[in-house]
Structure 1
Amino acid sequence: MNTGNGSAQRFDLHSHTRASDGMNTPAENVRLAKEKGLAGLAITDHDTVAGVREAVEAGEKLGVLVIPGVEISTRAAGKDIHVLGYFLDTRNSTLLERLASLRETREARNGQIIRKLQELGIAITLDEVIAGLGRPLRNDESLGRPHIADTLVRKGYANDLRDAFDRYLAEGKPGYASLPRIAPEEAMNWIREAGGVAVLAHPGLYGDDDLVSDILERGRPAGVEVYHSDHGPEEEQRYASMAERYGLIPTGGSDYHGVRQGVVFHGDLGSRYVSGECVGLLRDAAAD
């Protein structure tokens, strides 16, 4: 049910499109999944479900199962925590209103980042970041730090995306900003209320397993993302044990964002995956 070799059906449950901070259209992600032999993938853009419909339509044409999803931005104990939702009703009006409110917070956060960078003597504006998309930003799409990093690289303030984060945008760096957000357990409730199933994303990135355990106990998600591009073998084993201890579904995905400056970020589509059994368990949990 993990990244194993030779699984008959493989599903990547964590991918992003240009509806948030991915590089590809939703249809391109689906086409890539087909080329890589995946049976399906989840579209899990940040604080938006804007890319799901296009992906579902592409999946129906290509014979690829597209799982409607989202990745919700939350905060706990001073850390940014992400919560994945699967099989949720992407037309649920309450969910759409809630996600819109999160994008407003994200927009205010982006403004703070830009101001901090300007105070460092960096000539950058939000209009430049949006112009870098090469297309208008839709109201239901979200702008993230990778977009700002792209502009920093384009203007010569960083060598590549990782350098932009390491110098300016990562937590603790001079350009980092974070506004108050909802708690992880609230996001999990939102997902359940929209008919979906909640999963705690990439716990290894938080550097605090006590916090992870606390979130799992309070939020009661159905699963935890054990297999992720930024998890090594030791972390996979540790979170697989944690999933077993709490009776959770061990899920996984690449967290694919596409190619930026020639580098795949975080991992290539299909590099982390789960079996059809895991997908069935998630679907059943959403139906309960």
Structure 2
Amino acid sequence: MQYADLHSHTTASDGTQPPADNVKLAAAAGLSAVAITDHDTVAGLEEAIKAGREYGIKVVPGVEISTVYAGQDIHVLGYFIDWKDETFLSRLAELRRVRDRRNEMIIDKLQELGLDVTMDDVIASLQASKKAEETVGRPHIADALVRKGYVANMAEAFDRYLAKGAAAYVNPPRIEPATAVKWIIDAGGTPVLAHPGLYDQDDVIPKLKQAGLAGLEAYHSDHTPEQEVHYAALAESLGLTITAGSDFHGERGGVVFHAPLGARRIDAAVCDRLHEQRGGRL
């Protein structure tokens, strides 16, 4: 059987590996396919697709869109999108502007807490300068906190300051997940709800199914075995495609963030199913 990891991040958002490296790692992990799903950007896709031809790996063009539902961050994955569609690119650019504002709000709260951290410190912690179409996220801020000595590691940065309910957490207005589903369908893609076990918002899933949601990421590195069983069964009951993803972000401070690429994988035939479901063709 051939396998796919349908959730990975690169330096185009908050991963630490260039897109080509993710593809190389997928080959080393024995995968036949990997999805590049950076946050609110498709800036890493061209490099990844080129690398896919080099390594004989199918690269699924994807994105992970940030939304809010009932005060909770909800992420919607889009697969096989037309990543050169001008309308879609414009919508992603607007999401990145919201993300930039969120980052500024986090920095303001950290400074209110007496931590001498600036956006310049965050930028200095990046392994490479960011292009306009790439994103800066909370892991980059966590890196700055570690470098400044305020926390020992990424986990402490999130637990104390950046995770939901932590001291510097903020959640500015964002689009709803149903809007992200529509945008992905408009761009000819297939929408899948990312890591539903992190939300405690199962009520949103049938609503998103009505909006055109095509799949559910039942198998994820942060899901418990019980959650994986639960969401696989829920997906089947709703007629949603079951997907799997490591949510690989690379290594920070000697620790792989979320899990190694390929740690969660699924039959690569699922890629064909997602391809068939493009643009709402269920």
TM over 0.5: yes
Contact kept in structure 1, 2:182 and 2:212, CA below 8 Å: no
Q: What does residue 63 of structure 1 align with?
A: 56
Distance in 1, Cα, partners of 2:17 & 2:191: 25
Aligned ranges 1:167-246 → 2 under 5 Å: 167-214=160-207, 216-246=208-238
Q: CA deviation at 1:166?
A: 0.3
Distance in 2, Cα, partners of 1:209 & 1:69: 24
Q: TM-score, normalised by structure 2?
A: 0.97
Deviation per CA, 1:19-63, whole angstroms, max 9, x where unpaired?
A: 000000000111111111110100000000000010000000110
1:47 aligns with 2:48: no
Q: CA deviation at 1:10?
A: 0.8
Q: CA deviation at 1:213?
A: 3.8
Q: CA deviation at 1:209?
A: 2.1
1:263 aligns with 2:255: yes
Q: What does residue 89 of structure 1 align with?
A: 82
RMSD: 1.0
Q: Which runs of 4+ in 1 moved over 4 A?
A: none
Instruction: Give 3-state SS (helix, strand or coil) of 1:58's partner.
Output: helix
Runs of 5+ consecutive residues of structure 1 not aligned to the other structure: 1-7
Contact kept in structure 1, 2:24 and 2:55, CA below 8 Å: yes
Contact kept in structure 1, 2:39 and 2:65, CA below 8 Å: yes
Q: CA deviation at 1:208?
A: 2.7
Q: TM-score, normalised by structure 1?
A: 0.95
- CA 1:20–1:209: 2 relative to 1, 3 Å: same
Runs of 5+ consecutive residues of structure 2 not aligned to the other structure: none
1:22 to 3, 15, 20: 15
2:119 to 116, 126, 135: 126
Q: CA deviation at 1:282?
A: 0.5
- CA 1:255–1:134: 2 relative to 1, 3 Å: closer
1:72 to 62, 65, 75: 65
Q: CA deviation at 1:164?
A: 0.3
Distance in 2, Cα, partners of 1:171 & 1:218: 28
Identity %: 55
Contact kept in structure 1, 2:33 and 2:268, CA below 8 Å: no
Q: CA deviation at 1:218?
A: 4.0
Letter in 2 for 1:41: V
Contact kept in structure 1, 2:76 and 2:181, CA below 8 Å: yes
